[in-house]
Structure 1
């Protein structure tokens, strides 16, 4: 379609060198090409052109003192992408890889993801090129306080509500919230993912991982299948991966692998999930330490990975669950998964599959649960936290879990029905892109040219 080609050309020229952002936009627009031809009202009102341009982009300096008294400087970001459906909502990522392209791609995905939840949420994202891994608690606190000293003027409980992401957990959210409260003299629901002692929601830490499991269960149920006995490859060892593994274990699936920055842990007989969680979440140890107690497992260091991809995807399995970071499944990884008869993929990370890998999956009819649908459990539970804060209530974990399951099942039903309407019910990528776009675009039409 000439219209989409023109929009993509404009996005590329106006956002030079922002490869991740362009990839996210191209994936969505190429997917909904035929839908836009049928519904020309969006073209007439330049909805697509407006949707791919953030409402507001903020980049700022973050100076802070390290423990030696030296001044350090990082770059902070907040992309307020769309408020068509509600206040801007999306996490903060603290990682050396954070740049404008990464934050914009995450923000764009967040707009559609939040729309799929059916909840009143706009989309945004933020972060900084700061690495909390090698910093002391005092250094992290000083960085968070400096970051919030600039960010506070752009956010609010009914304006923009950040949450956590990679490198930003309950500790960082607590420091950020404390500084916001200090500056504004307001105890409000301006941040989600707060510790429960600061009016955070129960199950917020577990929510994204649990949500992936609930979505995957719905995928299999639609095909008359279940997770029982399914052999699963998981990448990552952060909150998403760990709590996904915990829930899969409860569903009697067999978890074969996980990975961290040092390498990949694998056991053909299935990993001891409780031990993995103990190592990573309680002891802060490395996955390789698992071998001290289980000699039947193997650990592949990063420097021994295949030159064309990730070791974690080179084993036989029924289901692949990427939960680490963007573009972690390469073309050759996808080929290896298909050759090993792994024909179900459910994305726990944001945009973890490269375009080349996505093409391989499509050619081989791989049943793919896209990240903008599958990992929406985190933001859904963030909205639950916003609702609890606004009403000054505290929900029990059972209530939060029940609502989370309802949202994930609703997302699956919405995108499968949409996919069936325009292609087939198992093309969940198409269904997610059309359903998310339609909800945002229709809201934009009703609000006029803003």
Structure 2
């Protein structure tokens, strides 16, 4: 049961990306299905411990097998306190317990101790497990460089560990190292072509690299290897098939994704985009509701947040925020006696659809306060991180809301950009939009 739990934990981790899922060391996972579990625990308990510390260790392992995590934590913690040289496997287990409780700093301490103990004992399996779990901790803390280095170390110790290889690749994707990630996932797929989680990630990475026909082949293999109940898998296959011009396969895959998850707005949006009016049955909704449109935008830009600014400013040479601010400044000077932008200052600015805060960079010199609103939580996080040259926050406040709802909540009084001039001019300016 514990071994199965470990496998399922890894599967969930690899499906959703580098997340807060952790693995108990394999040496603590007994292959004892169903009714044999209690017997295995009793056999474990019958062993005569050499001393009190060993007894605490045995009882803690037994509690862990039974799923009594709190008791296991207490017993194994006492074992570590009373042991002159704690077992690396136990330290790994304690780190995993802390990790699942999101006690990251405590988990780091235990996993680091597990590495030291495993080095002294020559226990490569425990050492690899500790580095793997440390990688997961640092990923959860968004310390991606540290996460990547620990996954790399786990792979160095155990070159055939496809789960560590896959997690390394997922971490590299977040770091923008897509070419390296593709190489790692290809390696994992070659090592374990029957693992549908590995196939899913490899197929997605191929699609991101523009290798869509290959992506379709791998994702179809992932579907065959899975239980056929994964909505996200069918969604990804539908996307890759659409990019490859395989319309029927794409629509069928997206329809299956919707059957499994009716609120899968991405699948619905992509399917509707491909179906002609004459092909639409009367018994199905062929439009996105206002709520679904908002959800679609949120998902789209949440996913795009990490590379949004780099692609716009560096690859597309995006200058719209600067151009908007120049137009606003010029408009003020055209309708006033002011001759220089340095004389212009707005009381406050509302950046509607603020994205990652590019408008703030262009206009913050001319205003006391900037308020931002965007439907994407990940974009809002980027905006909140922006700082002026003096270290102060660039935005006074940023809200993650749908824009129309936000404006209704604010009332009519906020529906303008106010400006402060040396001579009175009754002008109202539109919102600065990114």
Q: Which structure has more strand as a fraction of its residues?
A: 1
Which structure has the bigger radius of gyration?
2
State whether TM-score is above 0.5: no
Given the two structures, how large is their TM-score scaled by the length of structure 2?
A: 0.29
Given the two structures, how large is their TM-score scaled by the length of structure 1?
A: 0.28
Q: Which structure has more helix as a fraction of its residues?
A: 2
Name which structure has the greater RCO, CA cutoff 8 Å, separation 6+. 1
